[in-house]
Amino acid sequence: MRGILIQTLLYGSLTFGIWTALLYVFTNHNHVSNLEKKTQEPASIWSLEKKFHRQDTHGSEEIPRPYVRFESPDEEETKPQKSFFKWSKDFNYSSSEFVDGFLKYGFNTVLSKSLGSEREVPDTRNKKCFQKHYPANLPTASVVVCFHNEEFSALFRTMFSVVNLTPRHFLEEIILVDDMSDSDDLKEKLDHHLEVFRGKIKLIRNKKREGLIRSRMIGASRASGDVLVFLDSHCEVNKVWLEPLLHAIAKDPKMVVCPLIDVIDSVTLEYWPSPVVRGAFNWHLQFKWDNVFSYEMDGPEGPTLPIRSPAMAGGIFAINRHYFREIGQYDKGMNLWGAENLELSLRIWMCGGQLFVLPCSRVGHISKQRFPNQPEFAEAMTYNSLRLAHVWLDEYKEQFFLRRPGLKSVAYGNISERVELRKRLGCKSFQWYLDNVFPELEASEGGR
Ligand SMILES: *[C@@H]1O[C@H](CO)[C@@H](O)[C@H](O)[C@H]1NC(C)=O
Ligand SMILES: *[C@@H]1O[C@H](CO)[C@@H](O)[C@H](O)[C@H]1NC(C)=O
Ligand SMILES: [Mn+2]
């Protein structure tokens, strides 16, 4: 059993590597000019070739290698993290602590605990981002982090990285919403440890399990900053991560922005830069990353300009607090999580807002492995997707049901409030969205 699990993990990591390698090859082949290839080296680590041979090839042109501070009693030093394959030999993958942690949290909690609450991560921004300057006067941010049984160190790295890498005057507060965790270390121990942040953190504990969607609304309702920044509870923000987001929203309050999400490997916890991508989805209403058009990256400013994005991944984005309320927050009839990101994306575009990815803002996110023995997640995903389809897709919901015919007669609750909201906001049609924001959806899969 253990052997199989370990194989699955390693296989999962490899699959991910291959996927991103393909994405890299594809984006470069299609969109990245020769000049870009020289300047956009961060993406080059996604080449699987290099991943295998990384130790031999890190020259001055390479991105900074990920650094990890190892906590050991006799050597207080910072040393480069070893690459995955070499490193994996030193790690006991059959220890029950590792296996139990992985099954419960979806990532390497043994390593997470040994990393502790703070570490440095590599600055993965394109060099051209370093020349960008932001006004000293920007809106303030309330960072909202919801969690349910998050691993303690990962949660604390999220908070410490925000506190350490955000200028004080921009950070109104961090709002932590505990969605009925039952882990012991998230009770009194958490209260106790939060004291180091001296009141910058508000902790809200839900009285019953609300799910991510309603938890975020609870967090937002207690926020007082100008901008809401939603973060997953297993993130590490990068340098100058917040300023680009605040600046974009200051210029246009109806602009909703996402950082580029870097990958923190679920097994090694290494921090890897992501290539510049935009958010998209297919007719199954499954979110996916999509290539960015060359004209958006090939100009003199390189891959530093806002990238128009048909959808957001959902875990991490920033939105003007009043605008969030004005456009109807989330569909509170949705459960747990899933599809709420697409519902919000469509609502933003169709009701007069805009959604962009800002490549100069980087936030690392542990890409957790999920195990299929959690039917309640699949159920919520289906239910939420149905609500989305019935409120927002107009006649195109047939495209969804064509692919998922079993769902045509499945109940989706009462959506009259959301239909009413759409009318009240005077939103455009899904046809308009297809024509103006995401023509590739129809073009790419129309025949299938
Ligand atoms: C790894 O952990 C397992 C289970 O706890 C133990 O039996 C084994 O001896 C450990 N291996 C090493 C090399 O420490
Ligand atoms: C759906 O909810 C609305 C109010 O939100 C209510 O007026 C309506 O009666 C409900 N419909 C059904 C079928 O329960
Ligand atoms: Mn996440």
Of 189, 216, 265, 257, the residue nearest 15 (C-alpha): 265
Q: Whose CA is nearest to atom 3 of ligand 2?
A: 416
Distance between Cα 443 and ligand 3 center (Å): 30
221 ligand 1 Cβ < 6 A: no
Ligand closest in space to the Cα of 417 = 2
**Which range, 37-51, 130-144, 286-300, has the best average confidence (pLDDT)?**
130-144
- Ligand 1, closest atom to CA 92? 1
416 ligand 2 Cβ < 6 A: yes
> Pairing mode, if any, of strands 78-80 and 271-272?
unpaired
Q: Contact 346/390 with Cβ under 8 angstroms?
A: no
Model pLDDT, residue 117:
95
The tens digit of pLDDT for each residue in 235-260 reads 999 999 999 999 999 999 999 999 99
Q: Whose CA is nearest to atom 3 of ligand 1?
A: 95
Model pLDDT, residue 72:
33
Model pLDDT, residue 442:
82
Model pLDDT, residue 162:
98
Looking at every residue in the chain, the average pLDDT score rounds to 83
CA angle 307, 308, 309 (to 5 degrees): 105
15 ligand 1 Cβ < 6 A: no
The rounded percent of the chain whose pLDDT value lies above 70 is: 78
Q: Whose CA is nearest to atom 9 of ligand 1?
A: 95
Lowest mean pLDDT among 76-80, 141-145, 415-419: 76-80
> Pairing mode, if any, of strands 287-290 and 278-281?
antiparallel
Q: How confident is the model at residue 313 (pLDDT cuts 50, 70, 90)?
A: very high
Could you tell me which residue, 34 or 249, shows the higher pLDDT? 249
Lowest mean pLDDT among 4-8, 59-63, 171-175, 393-397: 59-63
Q: How confident is the model at residue 87 (pLDDT cuts 50, 70, 90)?
A: low
Of 363, 321, 134, 347, the residue nearest 233 (C-alpha): 363
> Best substitution site from 1, 5, 90, 94 to test ligand 1's pocket, by max atoms within 8 Å of Cβ?
94
Q: Is the pLDDT of residue 342 over 60?
A: yes
Q: Is the pLDDT of residue 96 over 60?
A: yes
> Best substitution site from 414, 422, 424 to test ligand 2's pocket, by max atoms within 8 Å of Cβ?
414
The tens digit of pLDDT for each residue in 346-361 reads 999 999 999 999 999 9
Lowest mean pLDDT among 108-122, 294-308, 382-396: 294-308
Q: Is the pLDDT of residue 58 over 80?
A: no
420 ligand 2 Cβ < 6 A: no
Q: In three state form, how does the secondary structure of the chain look?
A: CHHHHHHHHHHHHHHHHHHHHHHHHHHHHHHCCHHHHHHCHHHHHHCHHHHHHHHHHCCCCCCCCCEEECCCCCCCCEEECCCHHHHHHCCCCCCHHHHHHHHHHCCCHHHHHHHCCCCCCCCCCCHHHHHCCCCCCCCCEEEEEEECCCCHHHHHHHHHHHHHHCCHHHEEEEEEEECCCCCHHHCHHHHHHHHHHCCCEEEEECCCCCHHHHHHHHHHHCCCCCEEEEECCCEEECCCCHHHHHHHHHHCCCEEEEEEEEEECCCCCCEECCCCCEEEECCCCCEEEECCCHHHCCCCCCCCCCEECCECCCCCEEEEHHHHHHCCCCCCCCCCCCCHHHHHHHHHHHCCCEEEEEEEEEEEEECCCCCCCCHHHHHHHHHHHHHHHHHHCHHHHHHHHHHCHHHCCCCCCCCHHHHHHHHHCCCCCHHHHHHHCCHHHHHHHCCC
Q: How confident is the model at residue 373 (pLDDT cuts 50, 70, 90)?
A: low
The tens digit of pLDDT for each residue in 142-172 reads 999 999 999 999 999 999 999 999 999 999 9
Distance between Cα 92 and ligand 1 center (Å): 6
90 ligand 1 Cβ < 6 A: no
398 ligand 2 Cβ < 6 A: no
Q: How confident is the model at residue 49 (pLDDT cuts 50, 70, 90)?
A: very low
Model pLDDT, residue 77:
33
Q: Contact 222/202 with Cβ under 8 angstroms?
A: yes
Q: Which long-range contacts (CB under 8 A, 24 or more apart) does 80-83 make?
A: 81/268, 81/270, 83/51, 83/54, 83/55
The tens digit of pLDDT for each residue in 183-216 reads 999 999 999 999 888 889 999 999 999 999 999 9
Q: Whose CA is nearest to atom 6 of ligand 2?
A: 416
- Ligand 1, closest atom to CA 96? 5
Taking the mean position of all CA atoms in its chain, how far away is CA 347?
19
92 ligand 1 Cβ < 6 A: yes
The tens digit of pLDDT for each residue in 218-241 reads 999 999 999 999 999 999 999 999
- Ligand 1, closest atom to CA 97? 5
How would you class 433 by CB atoms within 10 Å of its CB: exposed for 0-12, middle for 13-18, buried for 19 or more? buried
How would you class 392 by CB atoms within 10 Å of its CB: exposed for 0-12, middle for 13-18, buried for 19 or more? buried
Span 39-43, average pLDDT: 32
Distance between Cα 65 and ligand 1 center (Å): 30
Q: What are phi and psi of 236, to 5 degrees?
A: -140, 120
- Ligand 2, closest atom to CA 414? 1
Ligand closest in space to the Cα of 420 = 2
Model pLDDT, residue 90:
78
Q: How confident is the model at residue 326 (pLDDT cuts 50, 70, 90)?
A: very high
Model pLDDT, residue 197:
86
